[in-house]
Amino acid sequence: MDRDGGTKEKTYSTEFFAMNTVMYIEAVGPESEEAVLAGCDKIYALDAMLSRTDPKSEISQVNAGAGVSEVTVSEETFRLLENAVLLCEDTGGTFDISIAPIMDLWGFSGSEYRVPAAEEIAATIGFVDYSGLILDSSNFGVSFSGDGMSVDLGAIAKGYASDCVLEIMKGFDIESALINLGGNVCVYGKKSNGEGFRVAIADPTHPTTYAGILEVSDLSIITSGGYERYFEKDGKKYIHIMDPYTGMPADSDLLSVSIVGPNGMRCDALSTALFVMGKEAAIEYWRAHRDFGCILVISETEVLASRDLEGVFTVTDGKTLDFFD
């Protein structure tokens, strides 16, 4: 969609479906159309490479070889797995890409949801251990320490994709860009009026509205919460974010976590990890690092945010906002 026929302010945008979600990319600049289409092509390529449900993807082939054989993957997939393992280590395993067997057990890999028996969870949780992923950099080989293991990059793939898309788009003559990959948002540059982009943070208690607004540029904003995907059984709600230590949906005292930073892949992983950690551990993790912004929605009315977001984040009417240092 070309919304402006001018040269410098030419805007092009497109909406499309990939990675099981609706995505939107927009760019402003002389080569906005070329930039957006190149970004779309990259997402389609990553989807084909990383999808766990596509039997032809590299990740599916890795999982199929679990405990049986080493699978050689592309350098890009290998480096992504390397970085993912580092994030698993850094978060103490609250983010764990080997969570796939548990996701399957609960039916979150498809849509056949079920509440497994405690015995099933106990028998499956032993397969969740990111340290069992064996990476051989000499030939980009990937294997597992035992059968029954598999990886799921769902909590990192869209964040990684936004990084890749932005890098590609910056190679074209554009002035700004908005990349929204199913709620994983990345903004580049400023709007034509010189202001940053206004990015809404969803209200987990009323997902069609928002809890607050960020005004930022050149950053990724990624949110995780139990409101995004869940099922109900016998009056109880079961969310899709799993605790790798219990094999159960995360019993978090947080409604959502939003991470703001320059690296979408890391933001994606941290939004999941800090949600699993819960309020106090999440704040302590931020204090130990301080190189990203953090927004914690505690209740229908209470929001906490890291001090570095003061001045760029505001909440909607009816909500209280406190900053932590």
In the chain, alpha helices (H): 32-50, 58-64, 75-90, 100-106, 118-124, 157-169, 264-277, 279-289
pLDDT tens, position by position, 114-139: 999 999 999 999 999 999 999 999 99
Query: CA 156, 157, 163, 164: dihedral to nearest 10 degrees?
Result: 150
- Residue 169 included in any domain: yes
pLDDT at 66: 80
pLDDT tens, position by position, 79-120: 999 999 999 999 999 999 999 999 999 999 887 899 999 999
Instruction: Tell me, rounded to whole angstroms, the distance of Cα 184 from its chain centroid.
Output: 6
Query: 306 and 226 share a domain?
Result: yes
Rg, C-alpha atoms of the chain: 20
Query: 228 and 286 share a domain?
Result: yes
Query: 238 and 127 share a domain?
Result: no
Q: By the 8 A CB rule, do 2 and 12 touch? A: yes
* Overall average pLDDT of the 291-315 stretch: 97
Q: By the 8 A CB rule, do 205 and 255 touch? A: yes
pLDDT tens, position by position, 194-233: 888 999 999 999 888 999 999 999 999 999 998 888 999 9
Query: 324 and 216 share a domain?
Result: yes
Q: Give the separation between CA 30 and CA 17, rounded to whole angstroms.
A: 25
| Cross-sheet strand order for the sheet of 197-203 | 197-203, 206-216, 313-315
Query: 325 and 223 share a domain?
Result: yes
Q: Give the separation between CA 221 and CA 3, rounded to whole angstroms.
A: 26
> pTM score, two decimals?
0.94
99: domain CATH number is 1.10.3980.10
- Amino acid letter for position 52: R
DSSP code of residue 196:
P
Query: 39 and 162 share a domain?
Result: yes
- Residue 47 included in any domain: yes
Q: Residue 87 sits in which domain range?
A: 55-144
232: domain CATH number is 3.10.520.10
Query: 120 and 133 share a domain?
Result: yes
In 91-130, alpha helices (H): 100-106, 118-124
Write phi, then psi, for 110 (nearest 5 degrees): -130, -125
CA-based nearest residue to 58, from 145, 142, 146, 138: 142
In 238-278, alpha helices (H): 264-277
- The domain tally of the chain equals 3
Tokens (6 digits) for 212:
């607050």
Query: 235 and 320 share a domain?
Result: yes
